[in-house]
Chain A
C-alpha cells in the first residue's frame, strides 16, 4: 500500500517539558479525502493535529508530507511546504478587513494571488459581499469562513482545521460542513478535528477516534458510524 499524502506516524510527545499527551498516535490523510479526528474531551484531538503541524515537541514518531520527512520543520516552514492550518481560536485578524485577511494569508506568496482570491470568493460568496468590512464585525460562521479562506490563500496541498464548527449554531454548522466538502472537492485533502462526531464522520472518508492520546478506533467514516463500540462510547448509542 502506498503511503498517505500526509501522515503523522506513531507520534509521542507533549507541550514543552510537560508530560506526554500523545502515545504512539497515528493520523493520516490521503489525497482528495477528508479525514476526521474525533474523541471525548481531553483525548488529545487538537494536540494530535498540532503535533502534525509542528507545534509541540515530538520525541517519538515522524511526520511525513508527500513522502518527505518534515518532523524537524517549524510550523512556518511547514506552511511554506504546503500545509494550511486554521487554529480553533483567534484565527482571523479582527481589526483588518476580510480582503486584508486574505492578503495576509497570501503573505508568503511572491506571485499574483488575485486568482486564488477569486476562487476563495467563489467558494465563500458571503466573503465577497463583506470584503471591505473588518473581519471582527462578522458573525461566528462568517469568521470561520474568513479563517478557512485565509488558509486557502497559500494554495495549500493539505488543509488542517481545528474544530471549525466550535461555537456556531447547528444551522451554520451544516453550512460550514457543506463548504468544507466543497473545498475538498477542489482536490485539497482535509484533516480536521471535530466535536460533533456524528456529523463529522458522515462526511469523512477516514475517521480516527482518539482516547487519552492513543488511537482507539480508525476506519472509514461509515465503518466507525456502524461500529457498535464507537456508537456506544462516543455517539450516544
Chain B
C-alpha cells in the first residue's frame, strides 16, 4: 500500500510547473478572448522538449513508457495555468495505437508520435452503457448522441473508407493524424486517418474558453487504416480521456483555491479579514473537500488503468464526475469571494469560470461520467 508520488513523479510535476511558468498563459487566454489568437503561445515545442507526447508510448517506440497517473500529473500542471497543450487529444490516441501489436505503419507512427514530430488527435467515442447500447460520439448541438462513423469495404491499398462526423474533438485543428473508432461489419474497430487525406475536413471551433482548441471533424469516405486494437482498448481510451480532463480540472481547482484563499486573508470588511467569516471559510473548505476527493480518485484511476483494468471505467468516470463538479464549485466560489471584481474582464477568475463551463460539456459531459459511475456499480452489484 503506497499512494505517494515517487521521486520521479515529483520531478515530472516540478519540471512541468517550471516549464509552463515561462509563459504568460493567463494573459494570453484573455487576449485571445479579445480576438488575438496569436497571443496564445505554441506550447508543443515545450511539450516535445519535456517528452510529454511520448509519456504513454513504450520505450521500444521511443516513448517514456509511463502510465496514466504520470500523464495526469502533467495535465494537472497544464490545468493550473490554463495552458493549452494538445495532450488531451494526443495521449488517448497514443494509448490506442500502443495497445495493439500493430504493423509497420502503427509502429512507425508511434515512433513519430512519441517524439511529437507528428501530433495525433483522439476522436472521442463513448462506449455503450446499460441505457444506451450503442457506441456514440458528441453531437454538434442538442441532447441526442451521434452515431459512430461507419467504415466500408477495404480498397486495394488495404484502407477502408470511413464516413461520419464527430463534433468538438479536442486538439483536432493542426493534428497530423486522427485516431478513433468506427463501425466495420457491425463491430467497433480502431482506425487511424491522416488528417490531410482526401475526404477529411476539420473545422476549428472556439467556444467560450479560448485556451481550448476544438474541431468539428467530418469524414467523407476518408481512407482509414484499421488498427490492431481490442475493443477494450478503444473503451479504455475514452476513460483515459475522462481521467485526463479530470486531472486538468483539478489542477485548475488548485489555483482557483490558492488565489481565493490568499484574497480572503488580505481583504478586510467590518474590520475583519473576510476569510474569518464562517460563510466564506466554509465555502472555501467545501472547495478543498471536493479537491481532496478528486485527488483521491486520480490515484484510483491512475492505479486502476494497469492495476485493475476492470475498474478503470468506474475509477476514471468517478474522477471526472468529482473533478468536474469541483471545478464548477471552485470557479463560482472564486468569483463570489472576490465580490464584484471577480466578475470583471481584467480578473483571472472569469478565465477559470470559462474553463469550467466548457470542460463540463466536453467528452460526453460531466453528467454522462456520473451516470457511468452508477452503471458500473450496478453492474458490479449484479455480478456480486
- Chains A and B belong together in one complex: no
Residues of chain B whose beta carbon lies under 8 Å from any beta carbon of chain A: none
